[in-house]
Structure 1
Amino acid sequence: MTDLAYVIENDEDLCLIFGEALMAANYRVETITDGLKARQRLQEEIPHLVLLDLHLPGLSGEELLTQIRADARLAKTIVVIATADARLGDALREAADFVLVKPISFTQLRDLTTRLHNL
């Protein structure tokens, strides 16, 4: 069975690019553009990987990351933060598994997620 990845990003163009990179790494991808909807989906189905933007409507990525890390069911979920705010990304580096600073290339994301898929 193909591992599930959530792309939680409010920019629909980035959702498409990130989703394509994850599919190239053999993930089944679901894109979510709102923090509250993402929280709901995380309760319904546990993904192998979450690619998380920090600036989301409804519930911020930072708040969502805190909730993910507090949920024992999601303990093995890999969280990759994707942000244009390098300082905020650095502040959250301990809570996330990886921090990528935008702009992120298709190749960079595909190569990282291919390695993560094999964990």
Structure 2
Amino acid sequence: MSGSIDARDVLALFARTRPLFTALGDERRQEIVVHLLESAAPRSVGDIAAHLELSQPATSHHLKILRDAGLLTVRRKGTLRLYDLNAAAYPDLLTPMGDLITLIISCASDLGEQPNDR
């Protein structure tokens, strides 16, 4: 890393974004996010499971990971649990990820400008 980059800062950004990377790193969870983006209303576990052709327990597992990462909200309506995107939290969730990506790109550019001593 270049002299202006503090490894502790980079590691702190990785730690802060780890839950988001974990949550979005699975193809099924990506499909859930896309399904909710396309939906006009919150969706039940059963609806999401049917759309993805997954079992309800597997869908619940994925929803919990997305919810724990702050990407989803859940509310009860009778016996149903309805899941929706937590859009209000997205700027706070995604800004550190953007900062990390910018930092990595900057470091990669710095490395590309240096002679190849490796």
| Larger RCO (CA within 8 A; separation ≥ 6) | 2
Structure number with bigger Rg: 2
> TM-score w.r.t. structure 1 length?
0.27
Q: Counting helix residues as a fraction of each chain, which structure ranks higher?
A: 2
Q: Counting strand residues as a fraction of each chain, which structure ranks higher?
A: 1
